[in-house]
Each structure stands twice: as C-alpha cells, then as structure tokens.
Chains A and B, each alone.
Chain A
Amino acid sequence: MYRYDKYDQSIVDARVEEFRDQARRRLAGQLTDDQFKPLRLKNGLYLQLHAYMLRVAIPYGTLDSRQMRMLGHIARKYDRGYGHFTTRQNVQYNWIKLEQAPDILADLATVEMHAIQTSGESIRNLSSDQYAGAAADEVCDPRPWAELIRQATTFHPEFSYLPRKFKIAVTAAGEDRAAIRLHDIGLKLVKNPAGELGFEVYIGGGMGRTPFVAPLIREFLPADDLFSYIEAALRVWNRNGRRDNIHKQRIKILVHDLGQEEFTRQVEAEWQHILQNGTNVPREEFDRIAAYFAPPPFETGLSEELDRSDPDFAVWLDQNVKAHKAPGYAIVNISLKPVGGIPGDATAEQIELMADLAERYSFDELRVTHAQNIVLPHVRKADLYALWQTLDAAGLATANLDLISDIIACPGLDYCSLANARSIPVAQKIATRFADLGRQRELGELKLKISGCINACGHHHAGHIGILGVDKKGTENYQLLLGGSGAEDASLGKITGPGFNEDGIVDAVERVTDKYLELRDEGERFLDTYRRVGFDPFKEAIYG
C-alpha cells in the first residue's frame, strides 16, 4: 500500500500545525464561529448534535494494522471508546473536543493519516472496491489510479473551491462493489480488444435529494489520459455549474440540464484543449505510485482444502468469505452488523483486535467497505478456522454479509444535526425481527439501506429495500423504497406510498419479504423478482 514520501509527510505535518494555530485562535476568541467553520471543515471537524465530530480519511478504504491501531487509540483516548465506519470508507468519531482536535490530527500524522478533504466543497475520499488487489474478477488493482487522482487533485486549484463536494470511485472488477454509477465520476478499468488498459467513464451520478444513475460519458479512455480527462470534466463543471442554488450545484444537475450528449461534447472539446498543454501525469509518476501496490508475497502450493465440520464455521465461510485471485487464499469480510448492534460501530478493543488479525493473517492489510464492514483481503485458507474462532469470541463473526441484517444506516437523528429521523433504531429493529440466520439465508441477497434524511448518507436510493426517514409534523416518519441497486445493475428505488412510524416500517419490510418468498422463481434474488413482477404486487402487499 502507499507510503508517504517526505513531501506527503511535510504537507500533512504543516496542516496539523496550521490547524493547531487556527483552533488556538478560535478558543482565544480571535476567530468568530463564521470565520472558523470553513477552516475546521477543511480538516474534517464538524459540529454535530452532541459534540464535535471528526471524520478521518481512509483513502480507497485501505489501511494497515499500524493505522488501524491508531484508530483504536483515538477512540479510547479522545472519544468514548468506539468509532463509526462510514459509507465513504472513512471512520468518524462522535465525541471530540475542539481543544484536543489538533492533538488527534498530530497523532494521525504519525501513521500517515489525516482528515483533509473529508468535508467541504472538495474531492472527497476516493473510494474503491474493497477487494481491490485480491478480487478474482478484476483486470488489475484499481488503487494506484485512485491514489494518483488523490495526489493530483489534493490542493490543485481546479479542484479546490468547487461548486459542491465531489465524489469519485474507481473499480476494476466485473462486479461493482463501489457503486460507481452513483458517484459524480465513476471509473471502471477495462481492457479493450487490443488488450490495452483504459476506463469506462461515468459522470453525473449521485444520491441525495435528486438522485441520478450516471450515464456512460466515454466507453474507453486510455489509462494514461485519466487525469487530463477528469480535469476537463471538472473545468466544464466549474465553468457551467450552478453556484446560486445549493440544491443544484452538483455535477449531476449539470449533466442532466445539458443532456448527456452536450455535456460529453463540452468535456471532449475541453479535453482536446488540455491535451495540447500536456497536463497528464507522467507515466513514471504513475509507475512510482503503482510500485507501492505490488502484490504481497503470496505462498504457492497451498492447499485449497477446508474442514467444514463445524457448522457455524461452514455458514460463515459460505456467507462472509469470498474468492481470492491467489490459489490457497481467501477474502474475509468482518461484519460490523451484529443483531441489535449499531451498523458500522466498532469498539476500540475490536478495532485493535482487527489490526492484530490483519498483521497476523492478512499481510498487514485491512479494508473498510462502503457497506460499513471490514475486510481482511489476503488470508490463507488454512488460517480461516483459527481466524474465525478469534473473531467469534470478539463478536465479529456475524455471518450475514449481503443479507437483510447487513444494513447500511447513517448515524441519523441520534447523532447528525441534518437528520430528520433516527436510522439506527430502525436498523436494530429490522435486524432483530429477522435475527434467525436461517430465515435470512432463505431470503438470500437483500441489501437494505436506511437514511435519516434526504441527503442519503445511508444510500437508501440504492437499497433493494430502502428506507428514508422524514419529519412529519415534528414526528419521525419512514418512507419505503423498492428496487434500488448500487451494483453493476444500478437503479434507483421507487417510493411505495405513504410512510410509516418506527414499528410500522418494520412490519412493512416483513410484508415485502413475505411477498417476495411467495412470488420468486428458482434462483431469483429479491431484486430479480421485483424487476420481473414489478412494483404493484409489493404495493398491494404493503398497503392492502
């Protein structure tokens, strides 16, 4: 994985000292709240319902055990003993004191971490496939490209002071595990018939109050031209994007207003102009970055055999362990969704344990997933049983990956000052209602996603079943959506009708799943059945 050079480290160290001085001046009354707010947001420090909240960047969700231990240390020393992994593959802490925030950033800098570009109108944390570098179905590791974009856009004037925040995802696998078509720019590495590497470029997707699935803007962009093409797209947005209305500032609105054809024409024209100036990142620089992502020294000749005699272990294997590109290895998903738990939360002790396990079993690497789970990407199959036993003892072996209780939920009204309704209690009630693992596995893959407001941090538009919390005359109300997907078959969920209270929404979800079991054909997922039979049978089941 990438390691800082002296330039990276000096940038981050300088930013810590700059923020230390800004915080000091705020505490001394030399800066007003209005003056300080944009400064703290440039360092990931929000003011939420109960306290300051610090969001720490985890580029493309990759970190090593040393960094993971630091996250546990921060949870214990500066917060209240836990951290919350987010849908942007970051981590955030909910109980931060302003007077300690500079010290936290200083601690993070010692392990090559920071909170830059986790807030504000910037290029947010680059996201990627959590199985990158390990997936059996990828054409190459996409993370060097994500790192290239991160470095080339950080503090770049074209990418600073944008009309709004901007989210980019990069993948290289057939299965889309990063929801690329629901990003401002989604990039998929592919090979053309000549075997050359390039990108499918999707621009103009997103969730929030006006969701769009991004259209394909370019079928094949030669890989070496990536940065200049992104710059061209950003220039078109900077030139034409709406800065007069916060709800119309995202690039998806521009793509929609101009139309796919005209937007593409303008980007291509701008790109040709840029190419004359030679602003692509030199190949040698990419090669320098890519060298950090060389595969770990996988052993050869390992056995593929697994002892499945322990039935609980066998279920976990089937549900949470995925195919690895290297023979004898596997990808392990650690669910942060125990029944009745808080999706994405992990205690300091659990964080440190996962760091230890990564060091022992996974070449020192971990990943954070956009579904708020953790991945150990490179585990020998021979080590799986011992690993599972340790995870199980720590409450980290819930075998529910991609099942109905593997719920994405934003912090909601329990923590977030923007939220209209609580998300976590709804997730807990649904997971408890469907607690029986046999019942969940009978339902099969079913991605349920909950947001506490229209900003859609819980990705409700992309849920096979989505739930949106709204404020209805001062009380919490929950709308139900069906048919969304953030995968390669991306689609937006459709609202079923009038909303429900907290208990009512749980009942409604159960009526939907009962109807699915009644209607499904052999081998169909919920989403397949929904797409085959349509909306009406489910609406009838929900409302009678």
Chain B
Amino acid sequence: MKILTGNDLPTGDVIWWTGSGWSRHVEDAVDVGDKGEAILHAEDGACRVNGGYILDATETPEGPRPAHIKDRIRALGPTVRPELTLKPSDPNAGSWVI
C-alpha cells in the first residue's frame, strides 16, 4: 500500500494522511493508491503539511507498517528515548520499529 506522511507546518510534528485530514498516528493512515501526488500538491498548497512524501507500507492488523525503518522511527519516535515516543508505556514499541 502507499501512504502519505509529512510534518505539521507550525509544530513540525510527524503526520499521516487519513483520507480526510492528517493524524499523528500512523495507524490512521490510509492507502492512497495513485492519488498521492495530487493530495500532497493540494495539502502543501494549503500549508497543511510540510515536506510531504509518499512511502510504501504493509497492511497489518494494527494498521499500516512503513516499509523502511526510517519511516517506522518517524512513526514512533527515537528508539533511544522511549519516554518521548508516541507509546511511552508500550514495552514492545521498539520491536515494532526494528
């Protein structure tokens, strides 16, 4: 599947395209098929995303899992500071990245 990510313009937070807006949780990302470029163009033009791009992911029961480790780290947070990730109390969060 193809999903979209970027950074929120005012805060810099990592965000994922949900089909109707942007979420901070990769679990909310949706498959955009071949519409990714058009969505990014519109969202960038409206200043709703910064540095947006399309990436590959696999569908899992927990939601999309980005194909590349860099995007999985973006989705969760730095592996070396679990307290600053989006799932600070999940002991298995790190294994999802690796």
Contacts and interface: CB of A to CB of B under 8 A. Distances in A.
Contacts of B10: 27, 97-99
B18 interface: no
Contacts of B67: 474
Contact of A49 (B46, B47, B70): B70
A193 B11 CA distance: 59
B50 A33 contact: yes
A254 to B, nearest CB: 32
Interface string B27-57: 0000000000000000010110011000000
A29 B46 contact: yes
Nearest to A29: B47
A80 interface: yes
Contacts of A80: 84
B9 A26 contact: yes
B78 A415 contact: yes
Contacts of B80: 342, 414, 422, 424-425, 428
Given A413-B69, A413-B70, A47 B14 contact: no
A416 to B, nearest CB: 9
Given A342-B80, A414-B78, A33 B51 contact: yes
B57 to A, nearest CB: 13
A313 interface: no
Contact of B73 (A28, A49, A428): A49
Of B9, B13, B44, B70, the most chain A CB neighbours within 10 A belong to B70
A33 to B, nearest CB: 6
A414 B78 CA distance: 5
A50 B69 contact: no
Interface residues on B, range: 20 to 34
A96 B12 contact: yes
A476 interface: yes
Interface residues of A, number: 31
A50 B51 contact: no
B7 A47 contact: yes
A414 B9 contact: no
B25 interface: no
Interface in A28-43: 28-29, 32-33
Contact of B68 (A50, A428, A474): A474
A234 B22 CA distance: 46
B23 interface: no
Contacts of B64: none
A449 B7 CA distance: 31
A52 interface: yes
Nearest to B50: A33
Nearest to A342: B80
Nearest to A502: B98
A50 B50 contact: no
A414 B14 CA distance: 14
A28 B78 CA distance: 30
Interface in A43-73: 47, 49-52
A475 interface: yes
A96 B12 CA distance: 7
16 contacts: A27-B9, A27-B47, A33-B44, A33-B50, A33-B51, A47-B12, A49-B73, A50-B13, A51-B7, A95-B84, A97-B10, A99-B10, A414-B79, A425-B80, A474-B68, A475-B69
Give the top 9 A-B pairs by smallest Cβ distance, nearest first: A51-B12, A414-B78, A52-B12, A29-B47, A99-B10, A424-B80, A97-B11, A49-B74, A414-B80
